Structure 1
Amino acid sequence: METIAILGANGVYGRWLTPRLVAAGYAVRALVRRPEAAGVAAGCGADIRVADIFDEASLVAGLEGCDLGVNLATSLPGPSGRGTYEANDRVRSEGTPIWTAACRKAGVQRVIQQSIAMLSASGTDEWSDEETIFPADDSVTGRALAASAAMEKAIRASDLDWLILRGGLFYGPGTGFDDDWFARARAGKLRLPGDGSDFVSLLHIADMAAATLAAVQKWPSRQTLIIADDEPARWKDVFSFIAQSAGAPAPEAGGRAGFPSFRVSNRRARAALNWAPFYTNYRVGLVR
């Protein structure tokens, strides 16, 4: 039985991935900062160890004896209220080299790195793929993209056997995104990002977990893969669907445009992983 270590197993991605790995016959070691919050991992029978991405010794101890390491560590603001964008940038840019060094010292040769499909944004209506890289700037989003690019560079520069999975914008139970969208719609406060014409590439969190399991099983070595649904959509279409579903007024323009327009293709992942999203588009995934 292969043992897979998941750093950041308490996060929403880890909570969806762990039971799938266990059901597929893998042993899971959950590397977490807060063992008291590892209810899902414990319920699945995972081996729970305390580790932090900035503490190499704790990582090495947690990784020893594992066959594969999955780095899902983030510190984003969300339902927990604990993270910040600045802390998340540090996790990605400064923590990832510590993670790869710990994997080498622990004898873990294969790693999967979570990344973001927004890194592949075109900033236009055009389709883009893994070869497209959006230029960073000094905005919050720009700094996040720069940190993600540094994270990926650290993975590729290591002597490990790696896969990088660039996920679309997560939604679904536990992510907080769609709950917030529906709550704001019902309160009449849902606003389109800008004029709503930009594209967003969404991904249900269950499909990210399924794609990660497929990556473990297929292992198309040293590839970067975009994991997103089949039909990127304009924000105005997504938010209008939410408002209509909630019986709320159509959303007005003028909200903060936090992301560049990204209309990314999942073609490479579908071929390499023999995977396809169950929630093929927002109309399927956002049904309430």
Structure 2
Amino acid sequence: MRIFLAGATGVVGRLLVPLLLADGHEVTALTRRDPAALRDRGVTAVAGDVYDADALRGVVAAARPDVVMHRLTDLGTRDFAGNLRIRRVGTRNLVDAALAAGVRKVISQSIAWAYEPGDEPAAEATPLDLAAPDEGRRAMVEAVARLEDITAEAPEWVVLRYGLFYGPGTWYTKAGLMADTGNLPTGPDLTSFLHVEDAALAAVQALDWPTGPVNVVDDDPASADTWAPVFAESVGAVTPPPTRSARTAWARGASNDYARTRLAWTPTYPSWRTGFFGRPG
């Protein structure tokens, strides 16, 4: 299968490339940086800018892909405004290029914490939190919804609603941003995590998944008061003190029941309890 991969140098993309190649796929990777390093890894690398719509159409058409995989983010530099722009504008340009090239399937990276408030971990049918009263959250959810709506214009599509990444190269690792205890949250808000290796494996499996959104999260949504001390222990940091507060209504976690029961996806790291220490379940 010929795959056009946008975002091959991110924390998941770096793991995804060798998995795709090992399965015999032909990979063309779009990069804003020097493409030589990617070419050394066995892919056809093309330099390009997702905001240059005309040039993007040209490189996608030249690749003649069967599938376009959208893994573009701008979080490495904590550019949250840039990340919203990628979701809105970058996705538009990439999907337009895919449709113009006759691509049948688009697989996009989304998130599993954009759901509306509720008491149980959210399933895929749960509406997104488009009426969020907080302006910052509403802007984020609107950008996520835009990404997903644009992706759904493809004849076949999968939106991977990932949990919060942890593991090598993420904020949640020994050298990462959250290793500073002062950055760790406390309280009853629930988080669904996902090890980056499981994120890459799910993306490969999604090549064969039916159209629709899929929560790709581990089995163990947990409150910050529960997981933060374990993470602190795993990175050798001071355990943050618990706090007494009400749970934020949207911080409900997400359910992976559909992926497990209908798509036969099983996380290698079913829980952060062992995953923070680098141990699969």
Measured against aligned partners, the alpha-carbon deviations of 1:240-288 in whole angstroms (never above 9, x if no partner) come to 112334554430257xx99941321111122343210000001121016
User: Quick one: structure 1 residues 259 and 75, their matched pair in 2 at CA, closer, same or farther if it must change by over 3 Å?
Assistant: farther
Secondary structure at 1:127's aligned position in 2? coil
Gaps of 5+ in 2: none
Measured against aligned partners, the alpha-carbon deviations of 1:152-178 in whole angstroms (never above 9, x if no partner) come to 11222x243111111011111011233
Q: Name 1:25's counterpart in structure 2.
A: 24
Is it true that 1:183 corresponds to 2:179 in the alignment? yes
Secondary structure at 1:31's aligned position in 2? strand
TM-fit CA distance, 1:114: 0.8
Is it true that 1:149 corresponds to 2:145 in the alignment? yes
Asked whether the 8 Å contact 2:104–2:155 carries over to 1, the reply is yes
User: Quick one: structure 1 residues 251 and 90, their matched pair in 2 at CA, closer, same or farther if it must change by over 3 Å?
Assistant: same
Q: Structure 1: which 4+ aligned runs deviate by more than 6 Å?
A: none
Q: Which letter does structure 1 place at the counterpart of 2:188?
A: S
Tell me which moved more, 27-36 or 257-266.
Answer: 257-266
Q: Name 1:242's counterpart in structure 2.
A: 231
Is it true that 1:4 corresponds to 2:29 in the alignment? no
TM-fit CA distance, 1:190: 5.2
- How far apart, in 1, do the equivalents of 2:194 and 2:268 lie? 10
Q: Which letter does structure 2 place at the counterpart of 1:162?
A: W
Asked whether the 8 Å contact 1:35–1:50 carries over to 2, the reply is yes
Asked whether the 8 Å contact 1:200–1:261 carries over to 2, the reply is yes
Counterparts in 2 of 1:1-288, with a 5 A limit? 2-36=1-35, 39=37, 41-64=38-61, 65-76=64-75, 78=76, 81=77, 83-120=78-115, 122-132=116-126, 133-135=128-130, 136-156=132-152, 158-179=153-174, 180=176, 183-185=179-181, 189=182, 191-193=184-186, 196-216=187-207, 218-220=208-210, 222-246=211-235, 248-253=237-242, 260-287=250-277
Q: Which letter does structure 1 place at the counterpart of 2:27?
A: V
Asked whether the 8 Å contact 1:16–1:206 carries over to 2, the reply is yes
User: Quick one: structure 1 residues 259 and 175, their matched pair in 2 at CA, closer, same or farther if it must change by over 3 Å?
Assistant: farther
Secondary structure at 1:12's aligned position in 2? coil
TM-fit CA distance, 1:181: 6.2
User: Quick one: structure 1 residues 98 and 47, their matched pair in 2 at CA, closer, same or farther if it must change by over 3 Å?
Assistant: same
TM-fit CA distance, 1:138: 4.5
Gaps of 5+ in 1: none
Q: Which letter does structure 1 place at the counterpart of 2:60?
A: L
TM-fit CA distance, 1:42: 2.9
Aligned residues: 271
Tell me which moved more, 257-266 or 48-57.
Answer: 257-266
Asked whether the 8 Å contact 1:32–1:51 carries over to 2, the reply is yes
User: Quick one: structure 1 residues 245 and 178, their matched pair in 2 at CA, closer, same or farther if it must change by over 3 Å?
Assistant: closer
Tell me which moved more, 55-64 or 10-19.
Answer: 55-64
Task: Quote the sequence identity (%).
Answer: 34
- How far apart, in 2, do the equivalents of 1:259 and 1:17 lie? 34
Secondary structure at 1:118's aligned position in 2? coil
TM-fit CA distance, 1:239: 0.8
User: Quick one: structure 1 residues 10 and 253, their matched pair in 2 at CA, closer, same or farther if it must change by over 3 Å?
Assistant: same
Secondary structure at 2:218's aligned position in 1? coil
Asked whether the 8 Å contact 1:14–1:72 carries over to 2, the reply is yes
- How far apart, in 1, do the equivalents of 2:223 and 2:3 lie? 37
Q: Which letter does structure 1 place at the counterpart of 2:4?
A: A
Measured against aligned partners, the alpha-carbon deviations of 1:19-43 in whole angstroms (never above 9, x if no partner) come to 111111111111111125x63x334
Asked whether the 8 Å contact 1:239–1:251 carries over to 2, the reply is yes
User: Quick one: structure 1 residues 35 and 273, their matched pair in 2 at CA, closer, same or farther if it must change by over 3 Å?
Assistant: farther
Give TM-score, length-normalised by structure 2. Answer: 0.88
